[in-house]
Amino acid sequence: MLTSVRTRSWALPALAGVAAAASALGVAEVVAAFVGPSSSPVTAVSGAIVDRIPRSLEQFGVQTLGHWDKPVLTVIILVVLAGIAVAAGILARRRVAFGLLVFVAFAVIGVLATASRPDSTTMAVWPTVVGAGVGMAVLSLLVPRALAVEDSVRAAEPADVGGAAGSASAAATTPAAVRAGAPVAPPPLPTLGGGAGSRRSFLYLAAGTTAAAAVVGGGGRLIGRWRGVSEERAAITLPKPADPAPPLPAGAKLDAEGVSPLFTPNSDFYRVDTAFVLPQVNPKNYKLRIHGRVAREMEFTYQDLLDRPLVERDVTLTCVSNDVGGDLVGNARWLGVRLKDLLDEVEPDPDADQLVGRSADGWTCGTPTAACRDGRDALIAVGMNGEPLPVAHGFPVRMVVPGLYGYVSATKWLVDLELSRFSDFDAYWVPRGWAQQAPIKVASRIDTPRAGAKVSDTVTVAGVAWAQHVGIAKVELKVDDGPWQQATLAAQDSIDTWRQWRWDWKPSGSGDHVISVRATNADGVTQPEQYEPPAPDGSQGWHSVDVTVR
């Protein structure tokens, strides 16, 4: 009996803690909707954690969870917060002030996190402060009520007390009003059966408060999104390119079922970034500043960029975290301003060997200045596959440099370009263990058949191969330890785009087989068999799939 009394007397204050924490977070989301997305304490703390995650763990996260990495981390954070909220409620049993202290500690963490985000403003602490205030008020209201309910229930169940002895029993029968620090809540009259009823009504109160807070918080997120830049984006009509993409050669698209399309639709395009909520950069106030080791600083509005002659090019983007056979790669038709022209106008110092890109949310990227000026189609891009950049892909302005992995070339939500030196500055991923310079390695992937597929008769093996800014010269396949055989290549769109390939295989008998692919670039470099993981400068090795011939 004693244990059941104790369990129950912890449960209601714990619920009060959860309801209070939910109220704090829900209210904070609403305030954040108006202050700016990164001022949400959950978002800011998540971001601060991501920035401190060790390289191995981050690598593991991206690899095993893919684009689910952020939702999963958010759920983990919410579960941890719920645990702490339970603890705050239980602490408040002794003294409401103890529970309030937990909220104060969390407010301090939230304030530090929101104030130190790279894109924070002086307003950024408000969601946390207001949220914490509301949470503390809810805790102060609910905990005494929880205790009063417990006391009235216990008063109505004398059997519970009779069986208990010692201090536990004394504590369990102390009226709420006597507990130090607890405001006097009117205890409901202890009538038989009425105790259980008030317990239930408290449960409804706490659960109702939590649910209302979740709705308010979700509403806050929606308001934040609605207050975002999707309307501004929808209102934009991009100018026609002065220099359109060259027409696709005949045979640039293979029709093989299951092969990646030559152009990846924007909705399917892989997304990799450190942003917990997408930066909402309004093109109306947009400025791109180019400065640092230059003869003259310059600034460009969004309209300034659109007013320049626009270039359209097909470029395949690849993430350095893409493992052998992975899908962190995609091809798009980009529209933008030639970066080389802008750099020629600011006149970089000869020793400025690194161009540092900065995003609206403070992420940084270091690109060799030479790669931006050597004649390749390095772009300050505003369009992707015929539309303004999607917000997730860097709206309104991002960088695209053929031949370099995304983390050293493809700054999204680009607002600042600084001419610097590799010896003076390490961009975001460099201190986290990734290479300072990272040209894309020649790679190939089997799209079909899928690993583990059951196949028969004639098997169409097909996929893509890429070696941006060099070009793909040859793709070969082999089955088990058989000889390498040449695949049919689609016609080359450009050396900066991937090439589809296909190979029709007639298996000679049933059983399990391993199909492997390797590509050779236009410089004659063939993918080596030796596997290398993505860190520190890109994965390497042959992609293989195992199939069963029936």
Ligand X SMILES: Nc1nc2c(c(=O)[nH]1)N[C@H]1C(S)=C(S)[C@@H](COP(=O)(O)O)O[C@H]1N2
User: Whose Cβ is closer to Mo ion: residue 206's or residue 278's?
Assistant: 278
Taking the CA of residue 487 as centre, how many other CA atoms within 13 Å lie in the half-sphere pointing to its CB? 34
CB of 406 to Mo ion, least distance (A): 4
Q: Using the rule CB under 5 A, which residue among 407, 413, 466, 498 binds Mo ion?
A: 407
CB of 274 to ligand X, least distance (A): 4
Residue 271 binding partner per list Mo ion, ligand X, none, with a CB distance cut-off of 5 to 8 Å that depends on partner kind: ligand X
Residue 273 binding partner per list ligand X, Mo ion, none, with a CB distance cut-off of 5 to 8 Å that depends on partner kind: ligand X
Residue 395 binding partner per list Mo ion, ligand X, none, with a CB distance cut-off of 5 to 8 Å that depends on partner kind: none
User: Whose Cβ is closer to ligand X: residue 50's or residue 109's?
Assistant: 50
Chain residue whose CB lies nearest ligand X: 406
* Cβ atoms within 10 Å of 101's Cβ, excluding its own: 15
Q: Which two tokens stand for residue 225?
A: 């999104």
CB of 463 to Mo ion, least distance (A): 21
**Is residue 19 a contact partner of residue 211, using CB atoms and an 8 Å limit?**
no
Binding status of residue 272 toward Mo ion by CB under 5 A:
yes
User: Whose Cβ is closer to Mo ion: residue 274's or residue 492's?
Assistant: 274
Name the CA dihedral angle for 41, 44, 45, 51, rounded to a multiple of 10 degrees.
180
Give the single-character DSSP code of 392.
G
CB of 377 to Mo ion, least distance (A): 20
Q: Using the rule CB under 5 A, which residue among 25, 319, 384, 464 binds Mo ion?
A: 319
Buried b (16+ CB within 10 A) or exposed e, 405-418: bbbbbbbbbbbbbb
Name the CA dihedral angle for 233, 236, 239, 245, rounded to a multiple of 10 degrees.
30
Q: How do 511-521 and 543-549 pair as beta strands? A: antiparallel
**Is residue 356 a contact partner of residue 436, using CB atoms and an 8 Å limit?**
no
Binding status of residue 406 toward Mo ion by CB under 5 A:
yes
Interface with Mo ion (CB under 5 A), residue total 4
Residue 274 binding partner per list Mo ion, ligand X, none, with a CB distance cut-off of 5 to 8 Å that depends on partner kind: ligand X
User: Whose Cβ is closer to Mo ion: residue 6's or residue 55's?
Assistant: 55
Residue ranges binding ligand X (CB under 6 A): 269-274, 317, 319, 359, 363, 393, 406-407, 410-413
User: Whose Cβ is closer to ligand X: residue 93's or residue 393's?
Assistant: 393
How far apart CA 379 and CA 355 sit, in angstroms, is 13
Helices (H) and strands (E) in the chain, counts: 13, 19
H helix or E strand, kind and range, residue 502? strand 499-505
User: Whose Cβ is closer to ligand X: residue 126's or residue 429's?
Assistant: 429
Helices 2-35, 96-116: crossing angle, 10 deg rounding: 30
Catalog residues that contact Mo ion under the rule CB under 5 A.
272, 319, 406-407
